[in-house]
């Protein structure tokens, strides 16, 4: 399910009573306010305030639901505490069941809500600012494609050109977490036959990008590569990319590539 559809489902969710917990947690290690894992204190204090309010109201059923939901959320964050990225957004309820967890690489303002519905306003704003996007990194030997949403990589794909068979094919054996070693990337080192066919190969890959954009629900497409290659590939796209960044990042890890796009 695409994120836009999930946000709409969250907006439509109603429990009838207050038993939906919405958690926005800033875990950005680069934020001065998060030194020494300060997010743990913010999480504890935020949930404690809700707990305190419910105890004062003496609504036993509501308090029971909150304690169950709080434990589930705390367990989730504890299990993923070493891989929280810049922020976490969680919507949870016991009745009716709701469990929606998102670890993101974009700014999050911490906040904790206990209502009869998910509080999605900040999440919706984040999505509008950082929607689903395809990041395309063309080179002579391959085209790398990152499928992203809110700065988080959902899939890292590589399509390799076989000079013998002269076609593009996805590299199914690629390690999505590691660096990618690519062959020579200078025009002077490429056989003239391949140089002459480069436009045709890029054009075929551009058609694949168009298909991926529709299937993955990309709202944006960004191209990153050495100047000549990035321009050549961008020109084959049916629609102008949202940005074209002239840097060779083909061997870089996903978070470095994404930061280049987010900081453009």
Q: What is the per-residue pLDDT across 26-59, written as a single tens digit (0 to 9) for each?
A: 998 877 777 777 899 999 999 999 999 998 887 8
CATH of range 3-129; options 3.30.450.20, 3.30.960.10, 3.40.920.10, 3.10.310.30: 3.30.960.10
- Token match 């559809």: residue? 5
Q: What is the dihedral of CA 208, 152, 78, 53, to 10 degrees?
A: -120
**Using 50, 70 and 90 to split pLDDT, how confident is the model at 222?**
very high
Q: What is the pLDDT of residue 181?
A: 41
What does the mean pLDDT of the chain come to?
A: 86
CATH class of 133-262: alpha beta
Average pLDDT over residues 167-183: 50
Average pLDDT over residues 187-202: 66
Taking the C-alpha atoms of residue 208 and residue 200, their distance in angstroms, rounded to an integer, is 13
- Token match 């974009």: residue? 106
Give the domain ranges of the chain.
3-129, 133-262
Radius of gyration of the chain (CA): 22
Q: Looking at the whole model, is its pTM more than 0.85?
A: no
**Using 50, 70 and 90 to split pLDDT, how confident is the model at 186?**
very low
The better pLDDT of the pair 184, 158 is held by 158
Q: Tally the C-alpha atoms within 13 A of residue 154's C-alpha that lie toward its C-beta.
A: 16
Average pLDDT over residues 108-113: 95
Label residue 59 exposed, middle or buried (CB < 10 Å: 0-12, 13-18, 19+). middle
């Amino acid at each position: 399910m695409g994120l836009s559809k999930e946000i709409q489902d969250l907006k439509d969710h109603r429990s009838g009573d207050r038993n939906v917990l919405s958690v926005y947690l800033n875990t950005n290690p680069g934020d001065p306010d998060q030194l020494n894992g300060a997010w743990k204190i913010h999480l504890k204090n935020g949930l404690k305030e809700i707990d305190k309010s419910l105890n004062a109201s003496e609504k036993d059923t509501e308090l029971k639901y909150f304690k169950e939901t709080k434990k589930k959320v705390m367990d989730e964050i504890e299990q993923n505490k070493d891989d929280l990225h810049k922020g976490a957004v969680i919507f949870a309820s016991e009745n009716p069941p709701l469990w929606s967890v998102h670890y993101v690489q974009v700014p999050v303002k911490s906040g904790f809500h206990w209502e009869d519905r998910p509080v999605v306003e900040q999440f919706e704003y984040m999505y509008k600012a950082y929607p689903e996007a395809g990041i395309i990194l063309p080179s002579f030997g391959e085209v790398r494609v990152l499928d992203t949403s809110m700065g988080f990589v959902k899939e890292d794909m590589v399509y390799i050109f076989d000079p013998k068979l002269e076609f593009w094919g996805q590299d199914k054996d690629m390690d999505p977490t590691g660096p990618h070693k690519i062959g020579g990337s200078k025009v002077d080192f490429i056989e003239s036959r391949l140089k002459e066919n480069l436009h045709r190969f890029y054009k075929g890959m551009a058609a694949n990008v168009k298909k991926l954009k529709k299937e993955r629900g990309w709202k944006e497409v960004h191209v990153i590569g050495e100047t000549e290659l990035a321009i050549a590939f961008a020109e084959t796209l049916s629609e102008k990319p949202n940005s074209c960044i002239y840097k060779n990042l083909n061997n870089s890890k996903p978070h470095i590539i994404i930061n280049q796009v987010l900081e453009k």
